[in-house]
Amino acid sequence: MKISRLPLPLCLAAAVIFSGHAHGATGAQLSPTNPSPAASTSAPPALYLGTAWYPEQWPESRWNTDLDLMEAAHIRFVRIGEFAWSRLEPSEGQYHLDWMFRAIRAAERHHIAVVIGTPSAAPPAWLTSKYPETLRVKQDGRLDQHGNRQQFNWADPKYRQLVYAMDLQEARRFGHDPNVIGWQIDNEYAALSYGPIARAQFQNWLHARYQNLDNLNTRWTTAYWSQTYTAWSQVPIETNYGNPGLLLSWKRFASDTWRSYQWNQLSALRPNISHQQFITTNMMGFFDGYDAYTVTRDLDRASWDDYVGTGQLDPVYNGAEHDLTRGFLRKNFWVMETQPGFVNWSPDNNSLDKGEVRAMAWHDIGHGADAVSYWQWRSALNGQEEYHGTLLGADGTPVPLYSEVAQVGREFAQAGPALAGTTVHSQVAILHSYESYWAIDWQRHNKAFNPIATMVSYYGAIRSLAHSVDIVSPDVDLSQYKLVIAPALNLITDKQAANLISYVHNGGHLVLTQRSGMKNIDNGLQTERQPGPLVPLLGGRVEQYYALDSTIPVSGVWGSGDTHVWAELLSTSSPDTHVLMRYGKTPLGWLNDQPAAITRKVGQGSITYIGADLEGSTLNNAASWMMQEAGVHPEFGTLPAGVDLYIRSDARHEVWILINFGQATQTVNLPSAFQNLLSSGSQHSVTLKRLDVAVLQRPIP
């Protein structure tokens, strides 16, 4: 655990304080109000197809019709309850759970399992009216109001107490229900509160972290602009333009507070549910409101909500979001929500093309998803998302997309057994750090420098060659990877530096890119030039960085190209550090003929620093060079244009998923004979039309 994180005992203490219950006091398992039904005889599928179902919005007489249509589409689970608090507890302390019990039983009769969403994302009107302190304070100081969702104050002790009580009722009733397979805590954590409660907790958090004000003032360099604090109560909340140490501390506090908010609910669920029921929450891809590595660490499974919005699926960007989610816990994940054709919240809510929803589902599976669930089943008759895509219309009959989702369901059932127990295995990792992203985003220096776009550009170039890439935190053990790329790893803690140095000394190949190694654990400048603590290992450093307003040529081992946004002038201090690329002549002058990329071998490993903003052929050539240097040699070479390959495997066999996202029909010649899981027979090649999918398997010798 990084020292920059709230220690777990303090998180637990926070959960105890906020919940109003002693942790462990609820450990005795209580019998549900209704007798438990007999255990389900339906075997769980290897791949789950699901949807979000809101039985509380419809007459109970309608439920079986909905479930008949779900069963016909091979839907195997529904998520229910995440917005149903006003139905579950219509007044304080009056719990109405029988309708949910009946919904679970109805789903069970259709061989459909249930994931229960705890309802804390949408508190009822009686709660926020009776306890106005549970409403969040917006950044402009206004109190949020009832009528939307996420209007709660995630730091408020009373809110946590009420949430705990609600969750406890659900856990005691359904924690051993054989048709309940899991729990989703809340829904899409996002909205913070900036009022007195959060500020006081933030100041206490700072006190616990820094121990005394002299330490905080020194590490934040508060002598700058007379920012020195003489009392903890003087420290403000700042989110945009403030002392970098203050900005980063607020983000860390927000992450730890979401973790303790979540732990409050975990402490109601875990002692009262079966170990066979998993607990998750639904993340949002590259959403950066908190550090997802912090928030997910106490969960059983990572999940996320996969939406395209305007336009069509970008398999590179979307694939990076999948691999990011898989990297939170470094195992398979679930797609808890995805769009059934179109959404309602984007500026232009176009539909995905016919066949694209199917391709997107298999794209999810290829990256390590074991479940794909559509939001939502049927159009609500009112509310803020009336125009959102669904599988059924407001009239309760299937929309055209229903048949395509049914095809996905049939294919999941057909190919699922071969994918059971398989995972993605990568020889290449890309490092992602929320703290580095925040540090750059607060001080972009060039508004066009987007650290996520930088990461995705390297991801796309490498993945097209390696066919699988892990995206992980710089804190994890990297020994399984031959190649590790750290795009814009701006903030490097001492622990992370030691991890990277050890990786290289043990034979790993590390590549750093622009803006790496500039900041320390408190978001202050390193006392060494970039890449800070890695300078001795590199045998070189960044002499100066330049935000560019014109194009600068670069050339060398990786060919010739341009850098547009950012450039760093590199130098070498070791005779075995070699220059790979140099800048050409420009009006700027400072970069003329200076090193743009350098590398040094360290035993069987190496470290490389790229100071230019590579793109196009230079980036692709650099990716090929990295693969060669690291000894990464995938069995399958270059794919036809537009075709993507995903490989999942276990000790017995491999499953290859091929999808053609291009416009032209393509034929892929396979390296050996494969069994086609969606048709029949053995084949050495596949022909794919646009948005076509092939799912193939072969044994591992």
DSSP labels for 303-317?
EEEE---SS---HHH
Find the radius of gyration of the CA atoms of the chain: 26
Q: Is the pLDDT of residue 154 over 90?
A: yes
Do residues 555 and 582 touch, judged by C-beta distance below 8 A?
yes
Q: Which residues pair with 571 in a beta bridge?
A: 541
Digit-coded pLDDT (tens) for 199-235: 999 999 999 999 999 999 999 999 999 999 999 999 9
Give the pLDDT score at 25: 31
Q: Assign residue 178 a region: left if phi > 0, alpha if psi is -120 to 50, beta otherwise?
A: alpha
Q: Is the pLDDT of residue 19 over 50?
A: no
H helix intervals, 20-124: 63-72, 85-88, 98-109
Give the pLDDT score at 41: 44
- Arithmetic mean of pLDDT, 254-266: 98
| Pairwise CA distance, residues 198 & 288, whole Å | 19
Cβ of 385: how many Cβ atoms within 10 Å?
15
Q: Which residues pair with 491 in a beta bridge?
A: 519
The least confident of 471-480, 545-554, 559-568, 633-642 is 633-642
- Residue 393 to residues 42, 404, 605: CA-CA distances in angstroms? 29, 15, 58
Q: Is the pLDDT of residue 446 over 60?
A: yes
Cβ of 530: how many Cβ atoms within 10 Å?
28
Give the pLDDT score at 638: 86
- Which residue from 237, 234, 122, 133 is spatially nearest to 188, judged by alpha carbons? 122
Length of the chain equals 701
- Which residue from 526, 524, 519 is spatially nearest to 491, judged by alpha carbons? 519
> Helices 8-19 and 244-269, interaxial angle, to 10°?
60
For the chain, how are helix, strand and coil distributed in percent, rounded to 5? Answer: 35, 20, 45
Ramachandran angles phi, psi of 683, nearest 5°: -150, 155
The tokens describing 593, both together, are 């003929």
- Arithmetic mean of pLDDT, 621-641: 95
Reduced to 3 states (helix: H, G, I; strand: E, B; else coil), residue 253 is helix
Do residues 653 and 695 touch, judged by C-beta distance below 8 A?
no
Digit-coded pLDDT (tens) for 416-435: 999 999 999 999 999 999 99
Quickly state the pLDDT bin for 385 (edges 50, 70, 90): confident
| Pairwise CA distance, residues 192 & 457, whole Å | 31
Q: Which residues pair with 559 in a beta bridge?
A: 556
- Arithmetic mean of pLDDT, 108-120: 98
The whole-angstrom distance between residue 592's C-alpha and the CA centroid of its chain comes to 41
- Arithmetic mean of pLDDT, 627-656: 95
Q: How would you class 269 by CB atoms within 10 Å of its CB: exposed for 0-12, middle for 13-18, buried for 19 or more?
A: buried
Q: Which residue has the tokens 């209007």?
A: 151
Cis before residue 376, ω within 30 degrees of 0?
yes
Q: Is the pLDDT of residue 36 over 50?
A: no
The tokens describing 25, both together, are 């006091």
| Pairwise CA distance, residues 398 & 308, whole Å | 22
Chain mean pLDDT for the chain: 93
Domains in the chain and their CATH numbers? 8-132+159-189+255-416 (3.20.20.80), 428-630 (3.40.50.880), 643-699 (2.60.40.1180)
Do residues 571 and 530 touch, judged by C-beta distance below 8 A?
no
Non-local CB neighbours of 654 within 8 Å, separated by 6+ positions: 647, 648, 697, 698, 700
The tokens describing 692, both together, are 């076509």
Reduced to 3 states (helix: H, G, I; strand: E, B; else coil), residue 570 is strand
Cβ of 156: how many Cβ atoms within 10 Å?
23
| Pairwise CA distance, residues 662 & 62, whole Å | 42
Calculate what percentage of the chain has a pLDDT beyond 90: 89
| Pairwise CA distance, residues 577 & 575, whole Å | 6
Do residues 643 and 691 touch, judged by C-beta distance below 8 A?
no
Give the pLDDT score at 121: 97
Non-local CB neighbours of 643 within 8 Å, separated by 6+ positions: 658, 659, 660, 661, 662, 666, 668, 688
Digit-coded pLDDT (tens) for 274-297: 999 999 999 999 999 999 999 999
Quickly state the pLDDT bin for 447 (edges 50, 70, 90): very high
| Pairwise CA distance, residues 621 & 507, whole Å | 23
Reduced to 3 states (helix: H, G, I; strand: E, B; else coil), residue 237 is coil
The tokens describing 118, both together, are 């705890």
The tokens describing 122, both together, are 């949408």
- Long-range Cβ contacts of 545-550 (<8 Å, 24+ apart): 545/445, 545/514, 545/515, 545/569, 546/588, 546/590, 546/591, 547/445, 547/446, 547/449, 548/446, 548/588, 548/613, 550/586, 550/587, 550/588
- Arithmetic mean of pLDDT, 130-158: 94
- Arithmetic mean of pLDDT, 568-591: 96
- Arithmetic mean of pLDDT, 42-66: 95
Model-wide pTM > 0.85: yes
Give the pLDDT score at 10: 34
- Arithmetic mean of pLDDT, 509-537: 98
The tokens describing 512, both together, are 């750093």
Q: Is the pLDDT of residue 6 over 60?
A: no
Cβ of 621: how many Cβ atoms within 10 Å?
18
Non-local CB neighbours of 652 within 8 Å, separated by 6+ positions: 699, 700
Quickly state the pLDDT bin for 42 (edges 50, 70, 90): low
Q: Is the pLDDT of residue 149 over 70?
A: yes
- Arithmetic mean of pLDDT, 673-678: 96
| Pairwise CA distance, residues 132 & 145, whole Å | 9
Q: Is the pLDDT of residue 32 over 50?
A: no
